[in-house]
Structure 1
Amino acid sequence: MGALTVVGYVFYRFSQTLPALIRWPIRLFCSLTGLSTLWGWVTRLVGTLRIIKTLYKWMSQLWHFLVRISSKFGWISRITGTSDDDLSELHALRIVLLRPADGRASGLADFLLGPVPSTTTTTDSAPDPHLLQTSKRTIALSSGEITVVDTPALPGLTLDEGSRARQALRGLQLSSPGPHAFIVETPIATTDLHQDLNRLAQASADVYGSELTDFMIPVVTHKHSLSRRRIEDLLHAQPGSHRRGPLLCPHRPEAVNVSMERTADDVNAARVGLLKRVLQMKKTKGCFIHELQRREERAREELLDAMATELAAKLRHCTD
């Protein structure tokens, strides 16, 4: 049947070049045998295939165009290592990084946001003054920004209690209306990780109040490929092979490898994992409200009432 169709098609097309006197008997033969109907169906099929081919070519060009456009916004995935859909819930997060007031930079802040070049030359006796002040930095996303406040609020050897208290409260102002999480960094190089976490948790609670522990995420930083099991052993093990007591912070410590000598996917996955911990805390706890925010709100209301009274008196004077 296939061979007959091909022969009939060739015969039919050959007849198109013949004079009309010879062509009409051939057409009559094709009509009587059904070859004309079969060829009409084949013609429609070929036309449909051509349309599909054209549509596929057009869609392919459109896809390549969209890929070129999306590559211009690759900074989003380079910062966070995830797709824009996965970032839709991460915007508007407010994080406070607590570190000792000793003039040393936070390795976790540099890991999340990238290192900030120092504008001054520092020595052991003269630390960088920028590291003794609370700073605010942001991570830009297509759906918004993530605010990270780095504050030297924990006990150190550089700032006195008055300066440290001012920097701690300044961190709350920069994270207004309130941070969703406080992150306390503990390097894993210490020999007594359990005790260090409790010491930093207590120091943080002394600064901001005992309610802080509900919003605190202890972060154990390291620069080696340590398993979760190994970190758990460092948290709870001690000579004598019995486990330590509970941590003051009720939330599970997060282990973060802050080494940048890894693949971009690994670094970005660690960043997103920590940000998702903050997002989970935001959903369950909301934001931390300190007495400073409450007093500021009352002061704003009192100032508004006072200014409204003065303005009303001025307007009455103008109408008289």
Structure 2
Amino acid sequence: MTTIQDQTTIITNQANLAAFDLSSYLAQIQPQVEAALDNSLPVVYPEKIYEAMRYSLLAGGKRLRPILCLATCEMLGGTTAMAMPTACALEMVHTMSLIHDDLPAMDNDDYRRGKLTNHKVYGEDIAILAGDGLLAYSFEYIAKATQGVPAEQVLQVIAQLSHAVGATGLVGGQVVDLECEGKSDTSVETLTYIHTHKTGALLESCVVCGAILASASAEVLQKLSRYAQNIGLAFQIVDDILDITATQEELGKTAGKDLQAQKATYPSIWGLDQSRRQAQKLVDEAKAELASFGEKGRPLMAIADFITSRTH
């Protein structure tokens, strides 16, 4: 429960946010992430698979997941250097999920981040293997490239990410999503299950893994888990809204896919206005979890606000 003192701190933090320039922060950190991703995956024999992996991994995007990991680690006294391998691995896992999600057997999409999807360039067989390769390599990269962090914490990060991506997380959410296609009676509870697992579990891992690397206490991990769960669900609600309201050029992928696939979405259940209100409520609740971190929490506060203000 949020206390009066917490509410006062939130108001103070929100006032400070006016002075925090998220655009400048992202302009500083995104190039570091891009360079680290580029260096993380060299092309060796057999070249085709590495080229396919790099094609999607380096295709741009907001890099929200690695940035969440880095920002959380730094907020708690860690360094960019100790968190960067995990940050890259999180983007590898996310990229795997996009490659596989775009396949004809899944969402059957031709465009992602404004470019042809992996299977359109390399074929379905190589695209499947590129996703598999990125997933396997993500764990290897955390284990081999992380420096200055106790082995026990590195193992904890690997376990956390494994839980988020398997049948307990992303895979499980995707299965229920597929089962609900074309059904008109999907409940809000089922839809929320889908998105807290398919999208939210990995976003939560980004924050939690950054905290683990910085030796966060159990209490801090719980606060940050709640923050991440809330922004994860808000992110998906906004995604559902943008699928209806944005153009293909703005999204960098095919617009209106959910409607074509007869998928249940938050706007289809609640309508656009209520969906927007629910997304904002989740962001407000997420920010409340950061009250005790003071000014150090400003990047995570600003990222929470970005969730509801983004246009793609």
- Please state which band the TM-score falls in when normalised by the shorter chain: under 0.3
TM-score, scaled to structure 2: 0.26
Q: Which has the higher helix share?
A: 2
Name which one, 1 or 2, has greater alpha-carbon Rg. Answer: 1
Q: Which has the higher strand share?
A: 1
TM-score, scaled to structure 1: 0.25
